[in-house]
Amino acid sequence: MLNIKGVNMKKIVFMSLMALVASVNLAKANDLDLPGEKWLGVFDKYVCEAFGDAVSAPRALDEMNVRFEQITTDYTLDHALLKGTFTQAGKLCRYNAILLADNAAQTSQLVQSIAYDPEGTGSRYIDCNEGKAVLDAAFKANKYLYYGHPHNLAFMLPGVGSEGVCGAGSKTIGANFVVKGKIQPKP
């Protein structure tokens, strides 16, 4: 596989395709799509560490009433689509994020995201930008934990008030998803 300064060309092509798909979806005010979705995980709890007990939501996410729903990955486990909702100025906003994983380093980075008012169109995208910025910052560059059986995937989120939940000196809190299995192909 051709590499340019350490970047795999397959990943560049995939990210370009994702940008095209996302631009079409933005115009339709729909959720993003992840081509080749194979695995599904659902949000379970917040954790401070692998195998940890459930803890309450961190302050920044609790104030926004963030509700993570699910994460799907492609067959390579390199590309993921996270979906959820949050409240901004008293209204519900949907949030979608495409994440790119480095499985060897157990890190992920935000590739693209959208946040929108599912009841609105056009300029109503702007109404969700404040909450989108908080979530984008939390998912910009993360470590993740993959552990247990059933399999758990916890994105360790910085800057959302983890010290109030996980203790002094804590810099991250995990948004934990439980892998539920393979996604059945659409007919």
For residue 35, is it within any domain? Answer: yes
Listed in sequence order, the residues at least 6 apart from 57 whose beta carbon sits closer than 8 Å to its beta carbon are 46, 66, 165
How far is residue 42's CA from residue 180's CA, in Å, rounded to a whole number? 7
For residue 134, is it within any domain? Answer: yes
pLDDT band at 109 (very low <50, low <70, confident <90, very high): very high
For residue 118, is it within any domain? Answer: yes
pLDDT tens-digit series, residues 82-105: 999 999 988 899 999 999 999 899
How far is residue 13's CA from residue 127's CA, in Å, rounded to a whole number? 32
In sequence order, what DSSP letters do the residues of 127-141 get, joined into one string?
Answer: GGHHHHHHHHHHHSE
Query: Closest Cα partner for 46 from 64, 63, 28, 67?
Result: 67
For residue 64, is it within any domain? Answer: yes
For residue 187, is it within any domain? Answer: no
Q: What is the mean pLDDT of residues 46-65?
A: 95
pLDDT tens-digit series, residues 165-186: 999 999 999 999 999 999 877 6
Number of domains forming the structure of the chain: 1
pLDDT for 184 = 79
How far is residue 41's CA from residue 183's CA, in Å, rounded to a whole number? 10
pTM of the full predicted structure? Answer: 0.80
Q: What is the mean pLDDT of residues 6-30?
A: 48
Tell whether the model's pLDDT for residue 48 goes beyond 50. yes
Mean model confidence pLDDT for the chain = 85
pLDDT band at 44 (very low <50, low <70, confident <90, very high): very high
For residue 38, is it within any domain? Answer: yes
pLDDT for 185 = 73
Tell whether the model's pLDDT for residue 10 goes beyond 80. no
Q: Hey, what are 148's tokens? A: 């247990």
